[in-house]
Amino acid sequence: MSDDIHTFIDDKVKSHDIALFMKGTPDFPQCGFSGQTVQILNYLGVPFEGINVLASDELRQGIKDYTNWPTIPQLYVKGEFVGGADIIREMFQSGELQTHLTDKGIEVKQSA
């Protein structure tokens, strides 16, 4: 991974309370897993930054290298990698995601 892409990713992760590296955009997800994660975040009413990994091959591979996690989407909360779509869905259904966000000082509008 180039230093430039690592710096770009690091900046996004650290400068947003919630950063979602996804395929597509929050308004137009390009895969079902990304779309599902966006739906969960929107349902919870939390602001987040969506970063489209389809914008560049370097970014798409770079985010995988950054966390050593093979799949996209990837969700970060307050600079910490939380997980991919399956983990986020399970956390949401159990209420653990809402608790995690609240514990990090992020107001959740709704719960499951």
Q: Nearest CA to 42 among 63, 20, 15?
A: 20
pLDDT value for 111 = 60
Q: Are strands 80-83 and 74-77 parallel, antiparallel or unpaired?
A: antiparallel
**pLDDT tens-digit map of 28-64:** 999 999 999 999 999 999 999 999 999 999 999 999 9
Sorted by where each begins, the domain ranges of the chain are 3-103
**Count of Cβ atoms closer than 10 Å to residue 67 Cβ:** 15
Architecture of the 3-103 domain: 3-Layer(aba) Sandwich (3.40)
Give Cα 52 distance to the centre of its chain: 11
pLDDT value for 112 = 55
| Tokens coding 31 | 């895969």
